[in-house]
Structure 1
Amino acid sequence: MKSIVKILITLIIITLFIVPAAAAGTQKEEVIYVNLNGDGSVSHVYAVNIFDMQTGGRITDYGSYASVRNMVTTDQINVNGDEITIDTNPGKLYYEGDLGSVPIPWDVDITYYMDGVPYSADEIAGKSGDLEMHIVIIKDPSDTEDFYEKYALMMTVTLDANKCSNITASGATMANVGSDKQLSYTLFPGKGADVVITSSVVDFGMDAISLNGIRLSLDVDLDTSDMEDDLTELSDGIVELDDGAWELRDGVENLSSGVGELLIGSDQLVSGARQLDSGAGSLSLGLTYIAVNNNNLMNGADQIFSGLLASANAHLSGSVSTLTKDNYASVLTSAISSTNDTTKQQQQLGQLLTQLTTYEWFYTNLSSYTTGVGYAAANASLLSNGASSLSSGASSLYEGAYELNSGTNDLKEGVANLTNGTGELRDNTTGLDTKLTDKINEVLDPIRGGTENTKSFVSEKNTEVSSVQFVMHTPEIKVLEEETTVEEKTENLNLMQRVMRLFGLA
């Protein structure tokens, strides 16, 4: 009950303060009250028609209503199809017409998520977690009178700060209103919205989301004198730009000198790289020649090793196992430890083991040497190739430096052209202040209002309409139905009566 009273009072105040004063005669104002469902779809639409009668007489109005009622007087309302007539006395007349669930110019879609799970407005009441609210507003296809294109929309979302924390709402103006956080959005004519509001909530509930559509008419008159001063500063800046161009030209001269030094250095680099290329080639050739004999050396060493083993096997005459490169050390060591003759035979076997071990060491190192020679020959070839590439790169560097030197000369000419261009730019800034003012007016004219007649939302037959306003709201999201005491009901009723008397409605 409290919330309903608040909404009624708000709507009355909005009607009396936002809607402009009506013209004399039978010209009227329309305030379209729209009850939205929790998801933003239209539930019911009512039109409050306001006439300010300077003299008594008959009012003729048009609208296809399911029902009508006189809100402030006892004058009878006569309905004949879509024609409504009222005989009334001087003063303001308010009558309400029930339009049912007709479409409105804005298509509003509201969705709620709690911890990523979608809920309807009724289902989400009382839940806790991470709230995400999406409000999407686009033009409704039924809007043939271009209310969407001509009317601004002001939307207000109110969250209880005692239940909602960490509120984020990009694009909103956020204000503290008592214990509430009020999020306000302004949508200019022809502009929709895609609003995302997030918050951490406990026992979630919220007041109605309100939307007010009014024809935007701003009295905007800009003083461009400051802008003209700025344009003068711009002209002075162009002169400074010209001076800077000449400083740039001096810098280019210094660059040209540095490029000349680079040319000398790159020429020296080319000479050194060629010498390196020649030396690396000779080294590669020598190592390659040496590497050619690697196989012969290893084959000869292998034959000697095999001959030593064959001689040893013949001398031992089968007293031990046949000796090979792989087993001679283990066989001789075992034979030495197992022989009973601790003098001569052990000595002979020991000498043979030493001889074979020494040769194997030589054989292994010879293999490492030939392998190293092979690697050295291969790497010397790579070095030779690299030195050749270095020599080629140094030549390219020299050619690039030469081209860079030529480029600096072109840059000099370009800087000279730049100074000519800044002079032309200064000449062309004449009258720029007038051009800027014209452009500003071009941008502001659509929101300054206009002289074209306001069209009725209710019926195209209503031709004398001074203003049309849309007042929309969703239901509250309530955790529990509030109980209103007799005292609160009496207080609310008295408050309503005082407001009605204050604005001449009762």
Structure 2
Amino acid sequence: MKRNYIKRMLSIFLIVAMLSPISYAMDSGNKLKKEEIVYAKLSFEGKSDLLIGVSGFPKGFQGYDYGDFSEIVNLSTPEELAYDKGRVKIDAKENFYYQGKLTAKELPWIVSMKWTLDGKPVTEEELLGSSGHLELFYDIKPNPTANPKYYEYFVVQSSFQFNVDQISNLVAPEGTLAAAGSIKMVNFMSLPGKGGSYTLEADVQNYEPGMVQIAALPLNLALDLSEITEYTEELKTLEMAIAELNGGTWEFLDGLYQIKEGAAAYSDGGSELLGGSEQLSQGLYEISGGSSQISDGLGELSQGMSEFEEGILLLTGGLDEFGEGIKLLDEGSSAFTQGLLLYLQGVEELSGGIHQTSQGSKDLALGVQMLGDGLYQLVVAGKGAPGHVDDP
């Protein structure tokens, strides 16, 4: 029973279908566009095992088709086809189809599938009829050695089918889920020139694998350009706005740079301001101490002014006394001068004659007396003058 399941799984488990309208055949020396579908049967891990191409031609076509086939089969008539040196001769009285088994096994995409059950890798034999938590890690990417016209212009859609009676809690974060009767499908899509990494998981019971189909189709969007001409001006406006936005973005970045530089300068100025504040605080402290010294100095100045004023008063009084002494000195000098004159006169009279001795003696005595009085007054005046020092 299990072997029958395996045969079924190997025959339809993985099929890749590619619709290729870009192949050509020769009709009387002219290229003719043809329809071609290439089916690839893949292994459990995603390796290509078999490639079969099916080509179609319109009624009335006569000519040759080209390809590397190991065998060919006529699908439209019982006649055998002539195949020689890579050429198939076609004579289509009606629409005509044939298939050929390709010698090449390389696809435009590299496919990889890894299956796990309860976190452990499983083979296809182990997976068939099993129960547990199923996970699939599916990768598809362009084949760099293949013809780039396929993966650059084709959309790849991968479809995985499950029996709803055998699964629950189906989750596919990168996929789209759909249902058709008793079948649930998970679809993944890869755009032209792109690959993808996808995951799905589900709880399975007596799991019997369903079909997996990978279809590669040329991207053909049915767009009527005449319907969108009215939007072209808006698109141009949008393009210009984007250009302006790009320029504004650079200006914005330049402004951010200037803000950064200004912030650095502001930080430096803040540091200098902080240092200046400390110096200002120290200066105010010193001013406070200086104010006390100024206050003390003003007090001493006021006291000195008072003493100066008293000294001025004493000086004024001393000057008055000095003036009085000068007057006394003047009077004493006058008396001294008169006495000296009388003394000289007496000496002269004494020396003039003996006979006048008596009279001269009297005059001399009077002069000496007056001289003594003058000296006394002179001494008295000297004591009253400023700066006089008494004898010890």
TM-score, normalised to structure 2's length?
A: 0.51
SS in 1 for 2:77: coil
Q: Is the 8 A contact 2:25 2:66 kept in 1?
A: no
Q: Is the 8 A contact 1:46 1:100 kept in 2?
A: no
Query: Are the counterparts in 2 of residues 76 and 86 from structure 1 also a CA contact under 8 Å?
Result: no
Instruction: Determine helix, strand or coil for the equivalent of 1:210.
Output: strand
In structure 2, the CA distance between the partners of 1:230 and 1:82, relative to structure 1 (3 Å rule), is closer
Corresponding residue SS for 1:108: strand
Alignment of 1:159-308 (within 5 A): 159-220=162-223, 221=225, 222=228, 223=231
Change (3 A) 1:172 1:11: closer
Cross-structure match for 1:103? 106
Gaps of 5+ in 2: 249-272, 286-392
* Secondary structure at 2:151 match in 1: helix
Equivalent residue for 1:131?
134
2:152 aligns to what SS in structure 1? helix
Q: How many Å separate the matches in 2 of 1:158 and 1:116? A: 21
How has the CA–CA distance of structure 1 residues 11 and 106 changed in structure 2, closer, same or farther, with 3 Å as cutoff?
closer
- Aligned CA distance change for structure 1 residues 201 and 232 (closer, same or farther; 3 Å): same
CA distance in 2, matches of 1:85, 1:233: 58
Is 1:150 paired with 2:153?
Answer: yes
Pairwise CA distance, 1:46: 0.5
Matched, 1:31 2:37: yes
Structure 2 residue corresponding to 1:49, chosen from 55, 74, 84: 55
Helix, strand or coil for the counterpart of 2:124? coil
1:46-78 CA distance string (max 9 Å, x none): 01111112x3x6331111211111101133311
The 1:61–1:115 alpha-carbon spacing in structure 2 relative to 1, beyond 3 Å, is same
Greater gyration radius: 2
- Looking at structure 2, the residues matched to 42 and 24 of structure 1 have their Cα atoms a distance apart, in angstroms, of 29
Shift in alpha-carbon separation, 1:147–1:231, aligned structure 2, 3 A: closer
Q: Which amino acid aligns with 1:29?
A: E
Q: Distance in 2 between matches of 1:204 and 1:226?
A: 55
Give the whole-Å Cα distance in 2 for the aligned partners of 1:115 and 1:142.
36
CA change 1:126–1:233 in 2 (3 A) is same
1:3-55 Cα shifts (integer Å, max 9, x gaps)? 89x97xx999x97xx979x99965322110111111111111101111112x3
CA change 1:224–1:177 in 2 (3 A) is: farther
Deviations 1:152-181 (A, max 9, x none): 111111222322222221221112222332
The secondary structure found in structure 1 opposite 2:95 is strand
Q: Is the 8 A contact 2:26 2:63 kept in 1?
A: no
In 2, Cα distance between equivalents of 1:101 and 1:64: 8
Code of the aligned partner of 1:151: F
RMSD value, Cα? 4.4
1:351-500 map, 5 Å:
none
> What amino acid is aligned across from residue 36 of structure 1 in structure 2?
L
Give the conservation status (yes or no) of the 8 Å contact 1:68–1:77. yes
Which letter maps to 1:160? N
Quick one: which of 78, 85, 91 aligns to 1:81? 85
Residue-pair matches, total: 244
Distance 1:80 1:232 in 2: 59
Per-residue deviation at 1:123? 2.1
The CA distance in 2 between the partners of 1:161 and 1:226, in whole Å, is: 49
Letter in 1 for 2:71: S
Which residue identity is paired with 1:181?
K
CA distance in 1, matches of 2:181, 2:109: 30
How far apart in 2 are the matches of 1:24 and 1:64?
A: 16
After superposition, give the CA deviation of every residue in 1:459-492 in whole Å (9 maximum; x if it has no partner). Answer: xxxxxxxxxxxxxxxxxxxxxxxxxxxxxxxxxx
Q: Aligned to 1:66, what secondary structure does the other structure show?
A: strand
CA gap of 1:78–1:226, structure 2 versus 1, over 3 A, is: same
CA shift at 1:228, angstroms? 7.9
> What residue identity is the alignment partner of 2:100?
G
Q: Structure 1 residues 11 and 209 mapped into 2: Cα distance closer, same or farther (>3 Å)?
A: closer
Q: Contact (CA 8 Å) 1:114, 1:129: kept in 2 or not? A: yes
1:114 paired with 2:120, answer no
Cα contact 1:75–1:86 (8 A) shared by 2? no
Judge conservation of contact 1:27–1:52 (CA < 8 Å) in 2: no
For residue 94 of structure 1, what is the aligned residue in structure 2? 97
Q: 1:70 to 1:144 in 2, by over 3 A?
A: same
Rounded Cα–Cα distance in structure 2 between residues aligned with 1:180 and 1:107:
27
Q: In the TM superposition, what whole-angstrom CA distance separates every residue of 1:291-325 from its partner, at most 9, and x where no partner exists?
A: xxxxxxxxxxxxxxxxxxxxxxxxxxxxxxxxxxx
Residue of structure 2 aligned with 1:69, choices 68, 73, 85? 73
SS of equivalent residue, structure 1 residue 123: helix
Alpha carbons 2:26, 2:64 under 8 Å: kept? no
Residues 101 and 124 (structure 1), Cα distance of their counterparts in 2 relative to 1, 3 Å cut: farther
1:133·1:197 contact (CA, 8 Å) conserved in 2?
yes
Task: Give the letter aligned to residue 75 of structure 1.
Answer: E
Following the alignment from structure 2 to structure 1, what is the Cα–Cα distance between the partners of residues 219 and 44?
A: 27
Whole-angstrom CA distance in 2 between matches of 1:231 and 1:36? 46
| Bigger relative CO (Cα 8 Å, ≥ 6 apart) | 1
AA aligned to 1:96 is Q
For 2:234 and 2:78, how far apart are their aligned partners in 1?
Answer: 59
* Identical amino acids, percent of aligned pairs: 24
Distance in 1, matches of 2:239 and 2:194, equals 33
Give SS of 2:38's match. strand
